[in-house]
Amino acid sequence: MSVLKKAFIAITVSASLVAATASMAQPASSEKHANRATELRQSIFKLLGSNMGTLGAMAKGKIALDAEVVEKNATRINQLSLMIADYTRTDTSKFDVETEALAKIWQDPTHFSKDIEKLTLASANLIAAAKTNDEGAIKKAIGGVGKTCGGCHDDFKKD
Ligand code: HEC
Protein backbone atom coordinates (compact mmCIF):
# COMPACT_ATOMS: atom_id res chain seq x y z
CA MET A 1 0.00 0.00 0.00
CA SER A 2 1.34 3.47 -0.81
CA VAL A 3 2.52 5.73 1.97
CA LEU A 4 -0.02 8.37 1.06
CA LYS A 5 -2.82 5.84 1.06
CA LYS A 6 -1.74 4.61 4.50
CA ALA A 7 -1.56 8.15 5.79
CA PHE A 8 -5.01 8.83 4.37
CA ILE A 9 -6.45 5.78 6.09
CA ALA A 10 -4.80 6.82 9.37
CA ILE A 11 -6.36 10.25 8.99
CA THR A 12 -9.81 8.87 8.21
CA VAL A 13 -9.71 6.43 11.13
CA SER A 14 -8.47 9.04 13.57
CA ALA A 15 -11.03 11.59 12.44
CA SER A 16 -13.87 9.15 13.12
CA LEU A 17 -12.37 8.22 16.50
CA VAL A 18 -12.19 11.88 17.42
CA ALA A 19 -15.78 12.43 16.32
CA ALA A 20 -16.92 9.40 18.32
CA THR A 21 -15.20 10.49 21.52
CA ALA A 22 -16.19 14.16 21.49
CA SER A 23 -18.69 15.25 24.14
CA MET A 24 -17.94 12.26 26.35
CA ALA A 25 -16.31 14.32 29.11
CA GLN A 26 -16.41 12.61 32.50
CA PRO A 27 -16.17 14.74 35.65
CA ALA A 28 -13.33 13.66 37.97
CA SER A 29 -14.81 11.74 40.91
CA SER A 30 -12.35 12.97 43.59
CA GLU A 31 -9.33 15.22 44.05
CA LYS A 32 -7.10 12.15 43.78
CA HIS A 33 -8.72 11.19 40.49
CA ALA A 34 -8.39 14.77 39.21
CA ASN A 35 -4.68 14.87 40.10
CA ARG A 36 -4.01 11.56 38.40
CA ALA A 37 -5.94 12.58 35.27
CA THR A 38 -4.00 15.87 35.15
CA GLU A 39 -0.66 14.02 35.41
CA LEU A 40 -1.59 11.71 32.54
CA ARG A 41 -2.89 14.59 30.42
CA GLN A 42 0.32 16.55 30.94
CA SER A 43 2.40 13.45 30.13
CA ILE A 44 0.97 13.39 26.61
CA PHE A 45 1.79 17.06 26.08
CA LYS A 46 5.29 16.66 27.57
CA LEU A 47 6.00 13.88 25.08
CA LEU A 48 4.64 16.05 22.27
CA GLY A 49 6.98 18.84 23.42
CA SER A 50 9.95 16.48 23.61
CA ASN A 51 9.39 15.23 20.07
CA MET A 52 8.67 18.68 18.66
CA GLY A 53 11.74 20.33 20.21
CA THR A 54 14.13 18.49 17.90
CA LEU A 55 11.95 19.21 14.88
CA GLY A 56 11.77 22.93 15.69
CA ALA A 57 15.57 23.08 16.02
CA MET A 58 15.92 21.38 12.61
CA ALA A 59 13.42 23.75 10.99
CA LYS A 60 15.38 26.74 12.34
CA GLY A 61 18.70 25.27 11.15
CA LYS A 62 20.07 25.01 14.70
CA ILE A 63 20.79 21.33 14.13
CA ALA A 64 21.20 19.39 10.88
CA LEU A 65 18.00 18.20 9.27
CA ASP A 66 17.74 14.42 9.39
CA ALA A 67 14.74 13.04 7.48
CA GLU A 68 14.79 9.74 9.40
CA VAL A 69 14.56 11.50 12.74
CA VAL A 70 11.82 13.74 11.34
CA GLU A 71 9.84 10.71 10.23
CA LYS A 72 10.30 8.97 13.59
CA ASN A 73 9.27 12.01 15.63
CA ALA A 74 6.38 12.88 13.29
CA THR A 75 5.10 9.30 13.66
CA ARG A 76 5.25 9.61 17.44
CA ILE A 77 3.47 12.97 17.32
CA ASN A 78 0.80 11.45 15.09
CA GLN A 79 0.28 8.56 17.52
CA LEU A 80 0.26 10.88 20.53
CA SER A 81 -2.33 13.07 18.81
CA LEU A 82 -4.61 10.02 18.72
CA MET A 83 -4.32 9.72 22.52
CA ILE A 84 -5.23 13.32 23.36
CA ALA A 85 -9.00 12.72 23.31
CA ASP A 86 -8.79 9.82 25.77
CA TYR A 87 -6.32 11.54 28.10
CA THR A 88 -8.28 14.79 28.24
CA ARG A 89 -11.70 13.21 28.76
CA THR A 90 -11.67 13.53 32.56
CA ASP A 91 -12.99 16.99 33.41
CA THR A 92 -10.76 18.23 36.27
CA SER A 93 -12.12 21.79 36.27
CA LYS A 94 -14.03 21.40 39.59
CA PHE A 95 -10.82 20.56 41.46
CA ASP A 96 -7.87 22.67 42.49
CA VAL A 97 -5.26 20.91 40.33
CA GLU A 98 -2.06 22.48 39.03
CA THR A 99 -2.87 22.86 35.38
CA GLU A 100 -2.71 25.20 32.44
CA ALA A 101 -5.73 23.54 30.84
CA LEU A 102 -8.75 25.82 30.38
CA ALA A 103 -12.19 24.50 31.37
CA LYS A 104 -13.23 25.33 27.81
CA ILE A 105 -11.84 21.89 26.84
CA TRP A 106 -14.89 20.29 28.46
CA GLN A 107 -17.31 23.08 27.58
CA ASP A 108 -16.56 23.10 23.86
CA PRO A 109 -15.55 19.53 22.98
CA THR A 110 -16.36 19.94 19.29
CA HIS A 111 -13.87 22.78 18.93
CA PHE A 112 -11.27 20.89 20.99
CA SER A 113 -11.69 17.80 18.76
CA LYS A 114 -11.13 19.97 15.70
CA ASP A 115 -7.85 21.25 17.15
CA ILE A 116 -6.74 17.67 17.88
CA GLU A 117 -7.63 16.66 14.34
CA LYS A 118 -5.52 19.48 12.91
CA LEU A 119 -2.47 18.05 14.70
CA THR A 120 -3.27 14.54 13.44
CA LEU A 121 -3.49 15.81 9.86
CA ALA A 122 -0.40 18.05 10.07
CA SER A 123 1.73 15.26 11.56
CA ALA A 124 0.55 12.80 8.86
CA ASN A 125 1.54 15.43 6.31
CA LEU A 126 4.98 15.70 7.96
CA ILE A 127 5.45 11.90 7.80
CA ALA A 128 4.73 12.06 4.06
CA ALA A 129 7.10 15.04 3.60
CA ALA A 130 9.90 13.25 5.50
CA LYS A 131 9.63 10.34 3.07
CA THR A 132 10.26 12.70 0.11
CA ASN A 133 13.57 13.80 1.70
CA ASP A 134 12.91 17.31 0.30
CA GLU A 135 14.38 19.76 2.81
CA GLY A 136 12.10 22.67 1.89
CA ALA A 137 8.96 20.54 2.05
CA ILE A 138 10.03 19.03 5.39
CA LYS A 139 10.71 22.42 6.99
CA LYS A 140 7.38 23.74 5.74
CA ALA A 141 5.58 20.69 7.12
CA ILE A 142 7.33 21.09 10.51
CA GLY A 143 6.01 24.65 10.55
CA GLY A 144 2.56 23.28 9.77
CA VAL A 145 2.71 21.01 12.83
CA GLY A 146 3.96 23.86 15.05
CA LYS A 147 1.03 25.99 13.98
CA THR A 148 -1.46 23.40 15.18
CA CYS A 149 0.28 23.21 18.60
CA GLY A 150 0.13 26.98 18.95
CA GLY A 151 -3.44 27.13 17.65
CA CYS A 152 -4.74 24.79 20.34
CA HIS A 153 -2.70 26.52 23.04
CA ASP A 154 -4.27 29.85 22.06
CA ASP A 155 -7.71 28.28 22.40
CA PHE A 156 -7.38 25.90 25.36
CA LYS A 157 -4.25 26.61 27.41
CA LYS A 158 -3.48 29.40 29.88
CA ASP A 159 -0.67 31.72 28.69
C1 HEC B 1 -5.87 19.96 21.10
C2 HEC B 1 -5.12 20.91 21.87
C3 HEC B 1 -3.63 20.86 21.94
C4 HEC B 1 -2.75 20.54 20.94
C5 HEC B 1 -3.05 20.14 19.51
C6 HEC B 1 -1.44 20.67 21.52
N7 HEC B 1 -1.50 21.06 22.81
FE8 HEC B 1 0.06 21.34 24.08
N9 HEC B 1 -1.24 21.64 25.61
C10 HEC B 1 -2.60 21.72 25.51
C11 HEC B 1 -3.18 21.93 26.81
C12 HEC B 1 -4.65 22.05 27.11
C13 HEC B 1 -2.11 21.97 27.72
C14 HEC B 1 -2.20 22.17 29.25
C15 HEC B 1 -2.27 20.80 29.94
C16 HEC B 1 -2.35 20.91 31.44
O17 HEC B 1 -1.61 21.74 32.05
O18 HEC B 1 -3.13 20.17 32.05
C19 HEC B 1 -0.90 21.78 26.94
C20 HEC B 1 0.37 21.76 27.48
C21 HEC B 1 1.53 21.60 26.76
C22 HEC B 1 2.86 21.56 27.32
C23 HEC B 1 3.22 21.68 28.81
C24 HEC B 1 3.14 20.28 29.43
C25 HEC B 1 3.52 20.26 30.91
O26 HEC B 1 2.60 20.12 31.76
O27 HEC B 1 4.70 20.40 31.22
C28 HEC B 1 3.74 21.38 26.29
C29 HEC B 1 5.25 21.28 26.37
C30 HEC B 1 2.95 21.30 25.07
N31 HEC B 1 1.61 21.43 25.40
C32 HEC B 1 3.47 21.13 23.82
C33 HEC B 1 2.71 20.89 22.68
C34 HEC B 1 3.27 20.63 21.37
C35 HEC B 1 4.74 20.64 21.03
C36 HEC B 1 2.22 20.42 20.53
C37 HEC B 1 2.23 20.09 19.07
C38 HEC B 1 3.11 19.06 18.60
C39 HEC B 1 1.00 20.56 21.33
N40 HEC B 1 1.34 20.85 22.62
C41 HEC B 1 -0.26 20.42 20.81
C42 HEC B 1 -3.33 21.61 24.35
C43 HEC B 1 -2.82 21.20 23.12
Q: What is the Cα–Cα distance from 114 to 127, expressed in whole angstroms?
A: 20
Q: How far is the CA of 1 from the centre of ligand 1 (A)?
A: 33
Per-residue confidence (pLDDT) for residue 32, from 0 to 100: 97
Looking at residue 17, what is its pLDDT? 53
Counting Cα atoms < 13 Å in the Cβ hemisphere of 15 gives: 10
CB 76 within 8 A of CB 47: yes
Q: Is 97 in the pocket of ligand 1 (CB under 6 A)?
A: no
pLDDT at position 159 is: 87
Residue pLDDT, tens place only, 76-102 = 999 999 999 999 999 999 999 999 999
The answer to whether residues 144 and 126 touch, using CB atoms and an 8 Å cutoff, is yes
Mutate to test the pocket of ligand 1, among 48, 55, 91, 126 (most ligand atoms within 8 A of CB): 48
Q: How does pLDDT run along the chain (159 residues), one tens digit per residue?
A: 565 565 555 555 555 555 445 557 899 999 999 999 999 999 999 999 999 999 999 999 999 999 999 999 999 999 999 999 999 999 999 999 999 999 999 999 999 999 999 999 999 999 999 999 999 999 999 999 999 999 999 999 998
The pLDDT of residue 2: 60
